[in-house]
Every structure is written in C-alpha cells, then in structure tokens.
Structure 1
Amino acid sequence: MIAVIFELEPRAGYEDRYFSLAADLKPVLETVEGFISVERFQSLNAPGRYLSLSFWEDEAAVQRWRNQEAHRGAQRAGRESIFAHYRLRVAHVMRDYGLTEREQAPSDSRSFHVMPFHAMKRQAKT
C-alpha cells in the first residue's frame, strides 16, 4: 500500500478555486484502478494549510492518477496560480492496524496491549 501525503497552502483568494478543482476531480479519482481512499485535513496550527492523505494499492495506481489528463490540468493550474506552497510525500505503508485489527501490529505491541472490552464487544457483533 502507498500513502500520498500532499501538504498545500492556497494563495490568498484562491482557496475556493482549490476546493472547486478538488471537488471536480474526486469523481475521476474514484475511478482510478488501485485507488483506496482520500481525506483532507486542515491545520490547527497554520490556518490556510491543508493536508490531503490518499491511499493506493501500489505505485502503478499512483502513476495512473499522476498521469490522468484532468489531474495533469489541475496540477498545472495549481503550480501556475493556485498554490503559494505545496509538498508531496509518497511512502510505502509498513504496517496497517487499529484497535481491533491487530494482525500487522508488531508482536511486542500485540503482547503488551490487550484489546479493550468495548472493542471486544463490538468485534463480537460483526
């Protein structure tokens, strides 16, 4: 699994343009083979800064999105007029686990943390 971490800061007056472009691209994004999910977060420390976090099955899926025609047009618009700053980080996900999905948790973590009772009840219902 690949994580794409896209930090961005729209130029003053261009925030609505960014959100409009992102909304237009979302239906296209969801059709890309290998796309898993995307969420956007706003910084609590730096107003006007955002982070888009997407997950992909593999690097080939990221490449399909990177080279998608509508996305290339949005990239151009972002670089030419929308963004004051951005940074992209692309990383392999080493482990993926949560409160009840513990298979990929390190063994020392699994042996130390016992599943909370409320999580055991929820897991038993499914």
Structure 2
Amino acid sequence: MSDHAIAPDAPASAAAPVTAHEPPYYAVVFTSLRTEGDNGYGETAQRMGELVKEIPGFLGEDYARTPGGLGISVAYFRDEAAIEEWRNHQEHRAAKKHGRDHWFERYSIHISKVEHSHGFERAHQ
C-alpha cells in the first residue's frame, strides 16, 4: 500500500486520498470479499505495499474495507508497462496465488485509463 492507503485497522484520521496526477494514467481497481480470519493476509498486504512502491510508474493507492467485508483498492500507475511489471513481479504473483487459495471468496479487477483528474484540499487556518 502507498503512503496514502489505509490499512483495515488504521484510525479514520489517517485517511487521505492519493493526490490527483496529470493524466493520462491508469487505475487498477481490485474489489474483493475475504475469507474469515486474517490467515497472514495483513503481513503479506504490508509487504506488497512496500514492494509496489519500487515499481517505476507507481503513483499511489487508495484502500477501504466495509464492515461487511468488501474491500476496494485502487492503485494508480503512470502507464500500462508499470501495471504489467507489477502484475508479473515474482513475489506479487506468489501472493496472488496464495490469495486465491486462502484469502479471497471472490474478487474482480478492473483497469481503466484516467483522462481527467483533479483534487481539493481545505485550507486550514
């Protein structure tokens, strides 16, 4: 996860969206429903968050989980080559296989090209 991502057990005050970037870039939306229990998921998710930061073109990640267990992660990448590098990263591939075998009841992945992006931040006085 990026510095902007929020772990499932993080306090709400730690939440901050990834800042807007100059388009075009890509968003990888990973929506999942987990199995019961952690089963090592948290540690692996933290490790993946460290590794993805090493991918040239990784821009950040937003993450949220509902009380009902639906998780949504949106990772932002400068280009399709960066997405492909992350998709094929050996340790990430192993984590994905383990996830299918142990952590996820179901998931979906959507990749989209961002053509417009802007943000807002309240000025605090």
The number of equivalent residue pairs is 99
Which structure features the higher share of helix residues? 1
Which of 45, 63, 76 is matched with 2:84 structurally? 63
Q: Which amino acid aligns with 2:91?
A: A
Which residue is equivalent to 1:73? 94
Higher relative contact order (CA 8 A, sep 6+): 2
Which residue is equivalent to 2:50? 27
In structure 1, the residue corresponding to 2:28 is in which secondary structure?
strand
Which residue is equivalent to 2:106? 85
Asked whether the equivalents of residues 10 and 18 of structure 1 are also in contact (C-alpha less than 8 Å), the reply is no
Higher Cα Rg, which structure = 1
CA deviation after TM superposition for structure 1 residue 93, in Å:
0.4
Q: Which amino acid aligns with 2:44?
A: L
In structure 2, the residue corresponding to 1:65 is in which secondary structure?
helix
Q: TM-score, normalised by structure 1?
A: 0.72
**Separation in 1, partners of 2:27, 2:103:** 23
Question: Where do 5+ consecutive residues of structure 1 fail to align?
Answer: 101-118
Q: TM-score, normalised by structure 2?
A: 0.73
RMSD: 1.6
Q: Which amino acid aligns with 1:48?
A: G
Matched-pair identity in %: 26
Q: Which consecutive aligned stretches of 4+ in structure 1 deviate over 3 angstroms post-superposition?
A: none
Q: Which amino acid aligns with 2:33?
A: E
Question: Where do 5+ consecutive residues of structure 2 fail to align?
Answer: 1-24
